[in-house]
Structure formats: C-alpha cells, structure tokens
Amino acid sequence: MTEIRDAAINFEAIKISLKQDKTGIILTLAIHPNEVPPSLFTDWVGSRYVAALVKLDDEDKPVEPSDVSEGKKAVQMAGALCREPKFQKWLVSQGMAFDASERASADAICEMSGIESRSELRSDADARKTFFNIVDRFKGDTR
C-alpha cells in the first residue's frame, strides 16, 4: 500500500457528469488548471490509474459516505447485541442459536447473513440488510 501512496498524484476536482457505455462507467471531472499534475498531460490516453476519491464539505472536511457509516453502525450493533443476554436468549428461542452465549450469537448472525465474520457487515450491503431484518424482528418480539 505504501508504494501506491508514494506514487499517487493529488488534485481537487469537481464531478461534472457520470454516464455508462459498453466499456463501463465514464466519470468526468473538472480540474482547475493550476491543480492539474504535469504527468496527466504527458501520460498516454488509455493509461491506467488507481483512483481514491474523498467527498469534501464546504469547510474542506471529508464526508463519510452513508453506506460506510451504516456499515460501521452494523458492526458496532452486532458486537453489542451478541453480548446482550436478552438477545442471546431470543436467538435460542427462535432456533437461530444453540445456546445463549456471545459466540453462539455471533455464529448465528454470520450464518444467517452469509458471512464469515461480523466485520464483513461493514462492506457487505446484503449481509447488512439481513442483519438489520434480524434486529427488527428482535425489537418487534421484545416490545
């Protein structure tokens, strides 16, 4: 990863358009002339790049994408719920876990969500949806 950071060119850009053709998604960015790295002028058309984009707010602070914050929330919630005796007992009563323990609860969440580790909830939108459905059922049954 250090090699990529060392080779990176940095500039601020504004999204102008996004479209799709048979080769993929085409993202058009506007770069102020004073911000254009000289290598962009000399690199061949068709040169490949790794891109990392960070959205900025009006104060130039990074804005966390909603799917990232939702993923973090899911991982934290899964950790907390698996330690909660009420949730552990509910999973057993629903036939989703074999015993009321943190490990059995974590295993149940992973199995039902189709993941190996609760940390995958951070990046797997389908697993997150399944997990949040489980949480909704738990909340509905324990009201």
- Higher-confidence residue of 5 and 64: namely 64
**Residue 6 pLDDT exceeds 70:** yes
- Higher-confidence residue of 103 and 63: namely 103
Confidence grade of residue 7 (pLDDT, cut at 50, 70, 90): confident
Cα dist from 10 to 38, 98, 129, whole Å: 11, 52, 35
What integer is the mean pLDDT of 119-134?
A: 94
Sketch the domain layout of the chain as residue ranges: 1-63, 66-141
Q: Which strand (E) or helix (H) includes residue 29?
A: strand 24-31
Q: Which value, to the nearest 10 degrees, does the dihedral of the CA atoms of residues 11, 15, 17, 19 take? A: 70
What would the pLDDT profile of 17-62 be if each residue is shown by its tens digit? 999 999 999 999 999 999 888 888 899 988 888 888 888 889 988 8
- Higher-confidence residue of 127 and 11: namely 127
How high is the pLDDT of residue 54? 87
**Residue 132 pLDDT exceeds 90:** yes
Q: What is the DSSP string of 103-139?
A: HHHHHHHHHHHT-SSGGGGGT-HHHHHHHHHHHHHHH
How high is the pLDDT of residue 55? 87
How high is the pLDDT of residue 53? 85
